[in-house]
Amino acid sequence: MSARWDFSPWLFGSEAGPDDVARQAERHAELRARADHALGESVYIAESANVDTDALALGAHTTVAAGAYLTGDLRFGEHCTVNAYTVVRGRVAAGDGVRIGAHTSILGFNHTMSDPDLPVHRQPLETQGIDIGDDVWIGSHVVVLDGVTVGDQAVLAAGAVVTKDVPAGAIVGGNPAKLIRWRVPPRAGTASPLGARLAAYADRARDQAGDVLARAWDAARGLFADAPGDAPTVRAQCDAVEVADVLLGSAPPQTPRDEVVARLRGWQDPATGLVGALDAGGVPRQPAGFDDPDAAYHVLSVGYALDLLGSGFAAPLRMVTETTPERLTALLDGLPWRGGAWHAGHFADAIGTALHWSRRRGDAIPAGVEEAFFGWLLRRVSPWTGMWGEPGDADGVLQIVNGFYRASRGSFAQFSVPLPYPDRVVDTVLRHAEDERFFSAGALNACNVLDVAHPLWLARRSGYRSGEIAVVAERLLDHALGAWNDGAGHGFRVGWPARTARDATPGLQGTEMWLSIVWLLADLLGASGELGYTPRGVHRPVRAG
């Protein structure tokens, strides 16, 4: 019959008699006699614990309770507890002060399933191992799977199924385990690894900004292209202005500032106020109208490039100065919010930005137009998602999240107006960020990551689900910081296996967007000050001046 200290090992030192102490010493001697087995001072191992290990290290004052099952290569620090009926197998390394509740399974190995014609029991095992930091509390009935790292001072709540790494200081729970809150919130600053990494990234980008711009300069045409071999575009001229502003604090060195201003202002069509796409000769085409996607985006890109250069549009933006509340409402009603929310948000962004530039120019905006714009957005926003439009069947909530970024950027963000349902925005965006079709390491692109980072940043003030937001931000920031290409900047896509893929090629668009994304993600972690820059263009994080 087991002694009660088999289930309460802390009682052994005060209640065990000489015979019990002698039996425990014999158990220690038997284990120490095995190769690669070491036990520290005052270790206790219950007689009913099954210890069938290939290698074992138990630090001083560590205990193993009744019914525990230990196999493989196990290393525990000091003052750890393996409570009753816990299973620890495979390769597992734990630090000091790790407390493991009863009936928990920590499995540092797995079956392979690569051959569908071979039964699982005949296929080889694989081991990545599990690493657990110091001062970690693992509740009862927890399952930790192979390949997981658990950071210092983390807590795994009872019943959690842990399939992914757990950050230091995090409290996780559920199946699969997700962040609940922080036991110890992340600390950022110049002394932190994150702060040092951000500072190094920004220094590298600033040092190489001249090379990035020179690489995209088409000297024969006197214009910027997105990347070498591409045709010049309006957006490339504007992206060059933004990259130079954020990294150099000046206009691009290839052309005097006044010439850039004159060119951008001269490209505006005075009849509509829009800027069309460039033809093969580098001359802007006549914009097809407001429903021209290029012309709609140029309201943003040209307007902000001119703003950074200390100038502005030469002619009124007649899409808002010559409309009525009724016509504007009808236009918004006609956008494809069902199934095409990104496309609809694209034009809503242009409307809001046209209102902004018209204010700045001092142009007369017809009575009720601004009220109609914001009123439509407030009336049509979903109280369940915090967004506009409806999710599609094929791509989850991708369309509404991307459409929300565009529509909210040109309205609530640009004019510093509070969001109507910020907590629902967070819920929807965090749900989207779990979709591995768009957020696995090989599928990230600047559009999708920006359209997650900015809404989370915009809705952050309430503190709602802040711990989960920090985990997403940290994960995405890690990919972004590692994606800079020396002398060339960022590609639009990060981690794409085919490095020859066009959207993985470094260029001005990817560089401008990822610089802004890095700032937003760093700011969500309280560390943006380490970058030494704040974007001031299209993807600026603060109200437009």
Active site residues: 111
What is the rounded CA–CA span in Å between residue 329 and residue 373? 7
- Cα–Cα dist 385/399, whole Å: 12
Q: 325-333 and 341-361 helices cross at what angle (nearest 10)?
A: 160
| d(C-alpha 137, C-alpha 96), whole Å | 11
HSE on the CB side for 182, CA within 13 Å? 17
The answer to whether 237 touches 305, Cβ cutoff 8 Å, is yes
Distance (Å, whole) CA 458 – CA 419: 8
* Distance in angstroms (rounded) separating the CA atoms of residues 70 and 88: 5
Give the Cα separation of 423 and 429 in Å (integer): 10
Alpha carbon distances (Å) from 58 to 11, 146, 148, 355: 19, 21, 21, 68
157 alpha carbon, distance to own chain's centre: 24
Amino acid 199 reads: A
Given the structure tokens 């900047």, which residue do they identify? Answer: 489
Strands 223-224 and 81-82, sheet pairing: unpaired
